[in-house]
Amino acid sequence: MYNGAGLQTPRGSGTSGYCQSNKFLAKSKKSAIREEPKRFEANEGINKPHKEILEHQRKRQIELRLFLLKEELVDKGCSDAEISQKIEEAKREIEIEAVY
């Protein structure tokens, strides 16, 4: 037995009784100074959205509105030329609306 670890006698245990220390055991550092945890402030941790993401979402909303208009016109039975013309007009109106 070495420092209170291991077997009293190795007889009948199937081991030699040799003790090794665990080199991979992470020991806590008592000398480390523990800091107080940061307190959450009202403006901290809130990220502003990226301009690219906002622009992409705006474009998706425009495309969604145009797609719904196209589906509505197809259901009414409009010709392809009429559909494309009305879609272009709606697209111009939506983009002007979105700028202001």
Report the alpha-carbon distance of residue 72 to residue 57 in Å, rounded: 23
Let me know if residue 60 belongs to a domain: yes
In a domain, 84, yes or no: yes
Q: Is the pLDDT of residue 1 over 60?
A: no
Asked if residue 2 is part of any domain, the answer here is no
Residue 70 inside a domain? The answer is yes
Query: Is 11 part of a structural domain of the chain?
Result: no
Reported as a single tens digit per residue, the pLDDT across 66-97 is 999 999 999 999 899 999 999 999 999 988 88
Do the beta carbons of residue 89 and residue 57 sit within 8 Å?
Answer: no
Provide the domain limits for residue 73.
Answer: 51-99
pLDDT, tens digit, 9 for 90 and up, residues 19-61:
777 777 776 666 556 666 666 666 666 677 789 998 999 899 9
How far is it between the farthest Cα atoms of the chain? 97
- DSSP conformation class of 2: B
Count of structural domains within the chain: 1
The position carrying tokens 């002007």 is 96
The whole-angstrom separation of Cα 85 and Cα 89 is: 6
